C-alpha cells in the first residue's frame, strides 16, 4: 500500500507579465537560437541582472530596516517561547516567510507586533488573517 508523500513547498512563485508582440518574438528568437533554454530562463536571467545592478543601492535599506534575506521559518515552539518570555516580534523578510502548520492564529496575534514581507508568506488561511491584523492594527511601515 502506497503512503502519501508529504506536501512539498514550491521554491518559486509564478507571476504574470504582459509583453508586446515584438519583444515576445525577440525572446522566442533568442530561445530558438539557443541563447536561453526557454522564455522563463531569459526572463529570470534578465530580472537577476537588474537586481544585481541595483544591489548596492538597496543594500543600505536592507540593513537599516533590519530585513532577513531568504527564508524565515517560524515554528510554534519559537512563538510559544516568545509568548512565555512576554516578548513580541517585529518581523521583516525579503524572500519567504513560512509559518508552521500547527501555529494557531491567536499565537500570531500574541507574539507578532509587526510584519513586513517583501516576497511571499506561506501560512494557513487563519494565520494569514491574523498576520493581516498585525499589519492593520499595529501599524507596520
* pLDDT tens-digit map of 76-87: 999 999 999 999
Predicted confidence at residue 50, as pLDDT, reads 96
Check pLDDT > 60 for residue 5.
no
- 10 falls in which pLDDT band (50, 70, 90)? low
* pLDDT tens-digit map of 23-78: 999 999 999 999 999 999 999 999 999 999 999 999 998 888 889 999 999 999 99
Give the predicted TM-score (pTM) of the model.
0.74
CA distance 118 to 96: 8
Predicted confidence at residue 6, as pLDDT, reads 45
Alpha helices in the chain (DSSP H): 21-32, 39-53, 55-64, 76-84, 105-111, 125-138
Altogether, the residues listed in the chain come to a count of 141
Predicted confidence at residue 11, as pLDDT, reads 74
Question: Mean of the pLDDT values across residues 116-122?
Answer: 94
As given in the structure block, the three cell numbers for residue 39 are 522564455
Amino acid at each position: 500500500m502506497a503512503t502519501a508523500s508529504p506536501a512539498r513547498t514550491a521554491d518559486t512563485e509564478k507571476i504574470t507579465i504582459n509583453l508586446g508582440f515584438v519583444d515576445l518574438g525577440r525572446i522566442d528568437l533568442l530561445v530558438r537560437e539557443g541563447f536561453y533554454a526557454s522564455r522563463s530562463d531569459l526572463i529570470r536571467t534578465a530580472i537577476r541582472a537588474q537586481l544585481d545592478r541595483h544591489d548596492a543601492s538597496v543594500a543600505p535599506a536592507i540593513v537599516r530596516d533590519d530585513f532577513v534575506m531568504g527564508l524565515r521559518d517560524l515554528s510554534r515552539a519559537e512563538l510559544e517561547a516568545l509568548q512565555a518570555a512576554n516578548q513580541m516580534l517585529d518581523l521583516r523578510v525579503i524572500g519567504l516567510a513560512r509559518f508552521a502548520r500547527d501555529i494557531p492564529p491567536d499565537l500570531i496575534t500574541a507574539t507578532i507586533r509587526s510584519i513586513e514581507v517583501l516576497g511571499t508568506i506561506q501560512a494557513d488561511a487563519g494565520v494569514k488573517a491574523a498576520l493581516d491584523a498585525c499589519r492593520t492594527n499595529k501599524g507596520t511601515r
